[in-house]
Structure 1
């Protein structure tokens, strides 16, 4: 199963926004959230349909 780039970036933005007030986000920043999303998507076998970056 794959996820479209648009949906991937929407998911990433939503999760980043949700974590923005957390202590870990303050310390680790956006890259921490992006890494967590990428790890989860790899574990679940869901990848963006292309390798475009925002």
Structure 2
């Protein structure tokens, strides 16, 4: 919400400024979702075996 106010004061209410303000306020939700998926996938068997399996440098 603060981003919307700042953009309205600084740059007016053009469509580009509104889009930037909305993205600035909702990016955290998407980042949390992506982080959760990565944390889930890194515990899957195929990832663990790729890291510790034969031919891996992480032994």
TM-score (norm 2): 0.32
Higher relative contact order (CA 8 A, sep 6+): 1
Highest CA radius of gyration, 1 or 2?
2
Of Structure 1 and Structure 2, the greater helix share is in 2
Of Structure 1 and Structure 2, the greater strand share is in 1
